[in-house]
Amino acid sequence: MVNRGASRLRRVLILIFVAIFAAIIGPLLLLIIKPSVMPNPPNSAVQLLTEPFLQLPTPTSVRVVWFTEFAGTDHRVIYGQNFQHLAIARTSKLSRTQEDQFSLVGEQKERGQVYQKSTPRNIWRQEAIIQNLDSGDRLPYRVTSTHPNGTSITSEEFTLAPAPRPGQPLKILLTSDHQVMPMTAANLQKVQETIGRVDAVFLAGDLQNVPDRASEWFDDNRGGAFFPCLQGRASYQLEKNGVKTTYRGGEIIQHAPLFAATGNHEVMGQALPHLNLNEQFNDPRPQSAATKLYNTYAEVINPSNNQKIRQDWLKDHSFNTDTFREIFTLPTSSSGGENYYAVTFGDIRLISLYVTNIWRSPDPQARGRFQEQPGDLDNPQDWGYGQMIFEPIKQGSPQYQWLEQELASPEFKQAKYKVVMFHHPPHSLGENIVPPYTDPVQVIDRNDQGGITAIRYEYPQGRDYIIQALLPLLEKAGVHLVFYGHTHIWNRFISKTGMNFLESSNVGNTYGAYTGDRKRPVPEKSQEKYVVTGNPNGLTPITPTLSPVLGEDDKPLAYLSSNDITAFSIWDTATGLVTSYRFDTREPNSAVIKFDEFKLDGRKF
């Protein structure tokens, strides 16, 4: 009896122990096991940061790139008609991406709610090279990344293709100046709805506002960051006349390679951690000024005279395009890397140039376009040096010499279509075409005692490098189209020799056209006489051929400049036609309207 009783007690104790064990340890075990079997949770930490997109197509290959917020493992592209092929991705980490008090990201809806200062943000880039493709192939693909918690995340299915062969008809989207602006998502959504899949995107610079602010590329919480807009994952709400419409952008670059030019918003200024990202962006210093400062303090900055320390210091105290170049894999040139390059894409030879300067305010009290701030006169380290040019294009410069060689190359000469893309306008009704595109000439006014009373900057019209050096070279070489942006309007021109100019930058917003009574801001006192209305460089804007927007007097306008109507341009290489479309966001259910069309004749064979 005693033994039987003891045995029963033991069994009861064991049962109690098992129950306690199950109650405590079970959920812990489940927590450990669960991530590997659960579906993708709605948590940004275990999603891909972008959809995949295409880069650098060659006749037999193309690259697939995507971003994650984890280093992860087993990043791969699965592709082919039956998804029978596999390409392993190479992982790298973006070196300069940050958020700050002005970021609109995550829970931060107002200044400084989450971030009080510039704070590094960890982002990894995955890139796989898809090889052995046949010309004309278009294959389905998906990408997969594995999170450190074991979750495998797979994208939806998209299509990839190598570079098109000569003669293959192509539709090219010509766009620029997205910059997380209000109409960008609507614009790109209308591209997809109107055209369907395009074959490539030529983007003439200014992809976002501050290149090192990660959220402007990936997940700005207004819903209109760069990648979501070009991948059909935006969620940007526009309110017009009391009606709210949410636009998702277009599923474009998952299927079509993007070729971008370096605009002023791809250039980050002095990378000093005590500055917020806006201040860093707005404060580039000429390399010559950075070098002068370095030489003054070299023994303190770099006592061991280490070359790497010197180079890093000079970069951090001048300007750089590192984030732009880390995000994309663009074609390269020997002297300009990804900042200027040429590439053959089907019948097109595309030359992309690094022609852009810092934008500075015309305000006479600012560290501005035309003068230094009055309080900075005696402190050269605080000078802005006017609208400095980032990369020379003047005669004899490395970029100019490279361009001369490119224009003489068989790839260029034999191409049916020759297109040159850069950011700064050669002909425009917009504001930013004034002052002329040249190195600012510093003029220092002094009083009788030799003290500085003003520092001004002059921009001699006769030294405009685009007009004096670049365009004659392009005209002589028979370029068919010069495509650019920067002033956020749509207008086009044609030269006497038949070279076409198109600015199709009224995408997300406008900064206005300067015609009639509207005058560009210029200083009251300057030696140079700046052109305050019209195109300062001579050519007359062409009134859109199909359906121009009407002005207040009901007469057709020779441009489009609107914060309600957004425009995009599509070039069809089969016909040579460049067609521009407009969409009125005040009427969300209205049709897209073709408003202009012109033909690129191409080279005759």
Write out the residues near Fe ion by the rule CB under 5 A: 206, 263-264, 486
Q: Which is nearer to Fe ion, 79 or 484 (CB)?
A: 484
Smallest gap, in angstroms, from Cβ of residue 206 to Fe ion?
Answer: 4
Q: Which is nearer to Fe ion, 171 or 486 (CB)?
A: 486
Are the beta carbons of 264 and 423 closer than 8 angstroms? Answer: yes
Strands 139-146, 73-79: pairing is antiparallel
Phi, psi of 185 (to 5 degrees): -65, -40
Name the DSSP class of 174.
Answer: E
Nearest to 568 by CA among 95, 53, 186, 58: 186
Q: At 508, which helix (H) or strand (E)? A: none
CA–CA distance, 602 with 605 (Å, rounded to integer): 9
Q: At 350, which helix (H) or strand (E)? A: strand 348-352
Q: Which residues make beta-bridge pairs with 501? A: 482, 493
Name the DSSP class of 251.
Answer: B
Q: Which is nearer to Fe ion, 325 or 594 (CB)?
A: 325
Please report, for residues 463, 484, 499, 571, 575, the alpha-carbon distance to residue 475 in angstroms, rounded to integers and kept in the order given. 18, 16, 7, 20, 22
Q: Which is nearer to Fe ion, 130 or 358 (CB)?
A: 358
Smallest gap, in angstroms, from Cβ of residue 431 to Fe ion?
Answer: 11
Smallest gap, in angstroms, from Cβ of residue 177 to Fe ion?
Answer: 6
Smallest gap, in angstroms, from Cβ of residue 265 to Fe ion?
Answer: 6
CA–CA distance, 352 with 337 (Å, rounded to integer): 11
Q: Which is nearer to Fe ion, 199 or 206 (CB)?
A: 206
Smallest gap, in angstroms, from Cβ of residue 280 to Fe ion?
Answer: 17
Q: Which is nearer to Fe ion, 75 or 424 (CB)?
A: 424
Nearest to 425 by CA among 562, 327, 582, 559: 559
Q: Which two tokens stand for residue 26?
A: 């079970």
SS3 72: coil
Smallest gap, in angstroms, from Cβ of residue 213 to Fe ion?
Answer: 16
Nearest to 437 by CA among 487, 489, 474, 475: 487
Smallest gap, in angstroms, from Cβ of residue 356 to Fe ion?
Answer: 7
Q: Which is nearer to Fe ion, 195 or 258 (CB)?
A: 258
Please report, for residues 25, 34, 46, 417, the alpha-carbon distance to residue 28 in angstroms, rounded to integers and kept in the order given. 5, 10, 21, 64
Burial of residue 418 (number of CB atoms within 10 Å: 0-12, 13-18, 19+):
buried
Tokens 């995009």 belong to 568
CA–CA distance, 295 with 420 (Å, rounded to integer): 39
Smallest gap, in angstroms, from Cβ of residue 191 to Fe ion?
Answer: 21
Smallest gap, in angstroms, from Cβ of residue 359 to Fe ion?
Answer: 6
Q: Which is nearer to Fe ion, 147 or 423 (CB)?
A: 423
Q: Which residues make beta-bridge pairs with 536? A: none
Smallest gap, in angstroms, from Cβ of residue 510 to Fe ion?
Answer: 13
Q: Which is nearer to Fe ion, 176 or 579 (CB)?
A: 176
Please give the full DSSP string across 118-134, using - where no structure is assigned.
-EE---EEEEEEE-SPP
Q: Which is nearer to Fe ion, 54 or 207 (CB)?
A: 207
